[in-house]
Chains A and B, each alone.
Chain A
Amino acid sequence: MSHIIDRRLNGKNKSTVNRQRFLHRYKKHIKRAVADAVNKRSITDVESGSQITIPDKDLSEPIFHHGRGGQNTIVHPGNKEFVKGDKIRRPEAGGGSGSGSGRASNQGEGMDDFTFQINHDEFLEYMFEDLELPHLVKKQLKESTAYKFRLAGFTSKGTPEKLNIIRSLRSAHARRIALSGSDRKEIRELKRELREMEVNPGAYDEIRAKEIKDRIRELNIKLRRLPFIDEFDLKYNNYVKTPVPSTKAVMFCVMDVSGSMTQEIKDIAKRFFILLYLFLKRTYKEIDVVFIRHHTSAKEVDENDFFYSRETGGTIVSSALELSRDVIKERYPVQDWNIYIAQASDGDNWEGDSTICSDILVNHIMPLVQYFAYVEITDRHHQNLWREYDKITEEFPNTFAMQQIKSVNDIYPVFRQLFERKEA
């Protein structure tokens, strides 16, 4: 009689450990594949998982096997035309040499690269590994305003709703044991004496027995007088107020859409922001994103407009910075929010505006934000905005960063550089 068992509810994913071991071992390869994938992907496709291909030679498990050469006799099925003694041209390497037994013995030739799938989460994990929004920690500890009550031991004073019943009763029990110790010991001894007298009839002494019984009764009454619970026993939960770090963060995505931005440059900028957006969504529970696009004037737009609107014009960068400043003042009080700004532009700005930008940044924006990242997307020489911003870098070495993106291939490396995890 067979035993039939339903195992379906047992854990699946028994291979998870092995799978993780594998991913860990080939982390380097996977990261490279992910980086490649990011660069090749279209804007909308960054969110799905990815196929990872690792060259077979890197993960082969070698065994001893025969190489080509020597004398072999191999039996094949399906002969249609050959007769004994037929001579056949030797096939090129790899073809037709499957020796029946040969499948398991790695012939080392014509093997495919090893390809497997990682899911969306893993993809993002490898993509954003070691990245973070800089300086978030500092902010959390210094300026959090939210508090939470946390259990921190017990006290003997408190309000009834904080009474801890188990602790209180335990304490009462302990007190009763402690206070009754000597009396109960005496009772035990008296009882023993009484029993000894009873089993040994010759020694039975009525007077003594009565004495003992009275004494026991007396002691029991005394014991019963011990209070079941005393005020002394009451224990209360002790709650302390602890600050809750604020992980609220807002990211301003500021994109230049002026006429000088070619379609290609805009595309790069958008991809940069998509990366950033994904990264933020993944890393932080609460994240606001403010999309600002500007040409001669700046406008706060929604996600869709930001990525797909085609409006364009001349360039006045300061308009966007002014708008950012105003939005911060209006909606994101500094004490509650970690504020980040990422700005992308080709660096081409209206004559004279760059100094205005610099002024707004230094005096109004930098004191408010955790981090300001500027990417200049151009394959030409640096523009005047870059030179202006360069001075700010010196003034705010920790909180202001800028990088140049020359082509699509730079997006991911630059992104990584800007958001590399730094020791807090």
Chain B
Amino acid sequence: MKKKQPISTGSEWTFKLVEKYDQEISRVAEFYQLDTYPNQIEVISSEQMMDAYASTGMPLMYSHWSFGKQFLNTQQNYRRGYMGLAYEIVINSCPCIAYLMEENTMTMQALVIAHASYGHNSFFKGNYLFRTWTDATSIVDYLLFAKNYINKCEERYGIDAVEDIVDSCHALMNYGVNRYKRPAPLSTEEEKARQQEREEYRQRQLNELWNTIPKQENKGKNKKEKRFPDDPEENILYFFEKNAPLLETWQREVIRIIRKVAQYFYPQRQTQVMNEGWACFWHYTILHHLHEEGLVTDGFIMEMLHSHSNVVFQPSFDDPRYSGINPYTLGFNMMTDIRRICENPTEEDKRWFPDIAGSNWLETLHFAMKNFKDESFILQFLSPKVIRDLKLFSIRDDENLPYLEVEAIHNDEGYRIVREALAAQYNLGNREPNIQVYNVDVRGDRSLTLRHYQHQHRPLGKTTPEMLKHIHNLWGFDVHLESIRDKKVHSSYHCPPKEVEEEKSMIELT
């Protein structure tokens, strides 16, 4: 191939150059069939980047002290040089917004464009979770609505009152998502109209629920009181929004807003390894492609590789820098490995991946990106080679034993076990305690009972009493939390806290 002239040779960037690089990157991305939302690339200063960080990367967000805390933390770390500001913040919206920091070199700008504007962007558009759960065209609108609404509430009811409810909602954010029910996308206009409707309807429904006039026909018939809700509800915020007895209408709307935001971020939490791996794979592949064509210099590639390897660096478990598996490393290695399996399969690959060994790598990779989340992706595609390369091993920690045991390592016997263990590790269902709304004492003291179903006998952590306070804050009446192990109540928490004696005597009685 005849080498072309490099686009640029220096490290300084200009808008002209950014545009040129973007054109070339876009051309290569198309060559690799990356399907993206339109791109909006914004050049910002480092202070603005810190701002963006502080509001979970969103271009606009309601105000809250915790974002201020986040900001101060970022600022502190940045000033001390603990972290370079990440060179990528990218927003799952249409157009897809990516930020370039003005302090970066031309190489870094090109890297970010390839990584965010084509890597992440195509992931947002292609992956099934995002397709199902997020509506890229309306998120910015919705956030604007949310910001204005919360602003208005602050004016009306005071910052403290709003903060109070937002704090509690933030605490329960991970319990404000639907895992299975599929939402119908709504535009902001519809959203506004529906909000009005909800205000009235909800109050009526509540009156029904909390109706204290005894019902004649039920007398004596149902010996066993029916539970409310009929089935346990795992979306706790949703349950509060609809059923908490004492909340004002605006408070329900705030709950709803935070629930929506949580839902929007839910796919991101389930696809971290894939999303980052995909983006890293593509910046690596696209920029090398440009290098082969002669459009970027050797120096450019050296600098790119330098920051690339910083990003995908994985310290070993015994390294002081170790803080778990680096999702960038795992994702990048797996994506690269899928291409290898397709292009140059070994005997082992043919045994392990008969379907994809030798197939078209680009098709296979796109298929993997579209149809999996971290858990299933690892279960499906983690190869013995990657396990060997990363020297993965699985440790079993059983509280009944005085020691930890090495359950499996990177050998024939261990591959499958390691793979399953790692996949399980990315299952949000395992990572977060499984807590559901179990019962409300509708006819009695209106107390709320939550149930925690222990996973592998794992108890709840130290923050549980704090969490119960937040739940109590939203519910307004007594809150109980039962931790279930082997179908028995293993331990329970109460807010307001119960006297220990009282609890004992109750157990004796029953």
The chain A residues found within 8 Å of chain B, CB to CB, are: 1-8, 10, 12-15, 17-25, 59-80, 82-90, 96, 98-103, 105-108, 114-117
Contact = CB atoms under 8 A, between A and B. Distances in A.
B426 A73 contact: no
Contact of B464 (A23, A61, A64, A99): A64
B497 interface: no
Contact of B322 (A3, A82, A98): A98
A79 B410 contact: yes
B399 A12 contact: no
Contacts of B51: 12-15
B432 interface: yes
B286 to A, nearest CB: 14
B interface majority secondary structure: mixed
B355 to A, nearest CB: 25
B457 A75 contact: no
B40 A2 contact: yes
B186 interface: no
A14 to B, nearest CB: 4
Contact of B431 (A1, A105, A107, A116): A105
A22 B68 contact: yes
Given A64-B174, A67-B458, A85-B406, 19 more contacts: A2-B113, A3-B95, A4-B41, A6-B42, A7-B48, A8-B102, A15-B55, A18-B54, A68-B459, A69-B457, A73-B397, A74-B425, A75-B418, A77-B314, A87-B406, A96-B317, A99-B324, A102-B324, A105-B461
Nearest to A77: B390
B433 A61 contact: no
Contacts of B19: 2, 4
B171 A63 contact: yes
Contact of B399 (A10, A64, A69, A76): A69
B324 A103 contact: yes
A84 B48 contact: no
Nearest to B54: A15
Contact of B463 (A18, A21, A78, A106): A106
B26 A2 contact: yes
Contacts of B70: 18
Nearest to B236: A64
A79 to B, nearest CB: 4
Given A64-B433, A70-B399, A18 B405 contact: no
B467 A73 contact: no
A59 B67 CA distance: 12
Interface string B383-410: 0000000111111111100111111111
Nearest to B44: A7
A82 B392 CA distance: 11
B26 A1 contact: yes
A18 B64 contact: yes
Contact of A84 (B63, B167, B409, B421): B409
Nearest to B404: A88
Given A14-B48, A21-B159, A100-B425, A74 B42 contact: no
Interface residues of B, number: 103
A99 B393 contact: no
Nearest to B454: A70
A71 B398 contact: yes
B363 interface: no
A369 B454 CA distance: 74
B413 to A, nearest CB: 7
Contacts of B55: 14-15, 18
A5 B40 contact: yes
Nearest to B25: A2
Interface in B30-72: 38-45, 47-48, 50-52, 54-55, 63-72
A76 B392 contact: yes
Interface stretch (B73-81, B196-204, B240-248): B73-81
Nearest to B430: A101
B175 interface: yes
B431 A84 contact: no
B161 to A, nearest CB: 14
A65 B466 CA distance: 12
Contact of B406 (A8, A68, A83, A98): A83
A77 to B, nearest CB: 5
Contacts of B402: 90
B232 interface: no
Q: Which of A22, A72, A102, A103 has the most CB of B within 10 A?
A: A72
Contacts of A24: 65
B422 interface: yes
Nearest to B460: A67
A30 B26 CA distance: 50
Nearest to A5: B42
Contact of B67 (A18, A85, A115): A18
